[in-house]
Amino acid sequence: MSNEYHILSLSGGKDSTALAFFIKDKMPEIHEKIEYVFCDTEQELPETYDYLNKIEVFLNKPITRIKPYIGFDHLMQIYKYLPSVNRRWCTVELKTKPFRKYVYDKFQSNGEGSVNLYIGIRADEPQRAGYNKYGDNYIQENYPFFDNGIRRQDVLDILEQAGIGLPEYYKWSRRSGCYFCFFQPKINWIRLFEIHPDLFFKAKEFEDKKNINPDFPKVHWNMEMTLEEMILPENIKKIKEDYQKLQKKKVQNCVKSHSGKLIDMFDDNENTCLFCHL
- State pLDDT tens for residues 212-229: 666 666 789 999 999 999
Residue 168 lies in a domain: yes
pLDDT on residue 116: 92
Q: What is the pLDDT of residues 153-183, one digit of tens each?
A: 999 999 999 999 999 999 998 788 899 999 9
- Return all residues near 105 (Cβ < 8 A) that are at least 6 apart: none
Q: Are residues 151 and 195 in the same domain?
A: no
Quote the pLDDT of residue 263: 46
The percent of residues in the chain predicted with pLDDT above 70, rounded, is 83
Count of domains forming the chain: 2
The residue-averaged pLDDT of 129-138 equals: 59
Are residues 198 and 159 part of one domain? no
Domain co-membership, 140 together with 201: no
Band the pLDDT of 255: cuts 50, 70, 90: low
> Do residues 154 and 16 share a domain?
yes
Per the CB < 8 A criterion, the answer to whether 63 and 7 are in contact is: no
Q: Are residues 65 and 118 in the same domain?
A: yes
Identify whether 274 is part of a domain: no
**pLDDT of the residue at 27:** 95
Spatial separation of the C-alpha atoms in residues 2 and 58, rounded to whole Å? 32
Co-location of 18 and 59 in the same domain: yes
- Residues of the chain with pLDDT > 90, as a percent, come to 65
Task: Residue 56: give the domain boundaries.
Answer: 3-173
Question: What rounded mean pLDDT belongs to the chain?
Answer: 86
Is the pLDDT assigned to residue 97 strictly greater than 90? yes
pLDDT classification of 211: cutoffs 50, 70, 90: low
pLDDT band at residue 261 using 50, 70 and 90 as cut-offs? very low
Question: Of 48, 42, 45, which Cα lies nearest the Cα of 10?
Answer: 48
Confidence of residue 114 (pLDDT cuts 50, 70, 90): confident
Decide if 111 is inside a domain: yes
Within a domain: residue 250?
yes
User: What pLDDT is recorded for position 276?
Assistant: 58
Does 19 score more than 80 pLDDT? Answer: yes
My answer on whether 250 and 163 are in the same domain is no
Indicate the pTM of the whole model.
Answer: 0.86
Question: What pLDDT score does 243 carry?
Answer: 94
Cross-strand partners of 35: 7
Asked whether the predicted pLDDT for residue 132 surpasses 60, the reply is no
Instruction: With respect to residue 276, please indicate whether it lies within any of the assigned structural domains.
Output: no
For residue 71, the one-letter residue type is G
Higher pLDDT, 80 or 34: 34
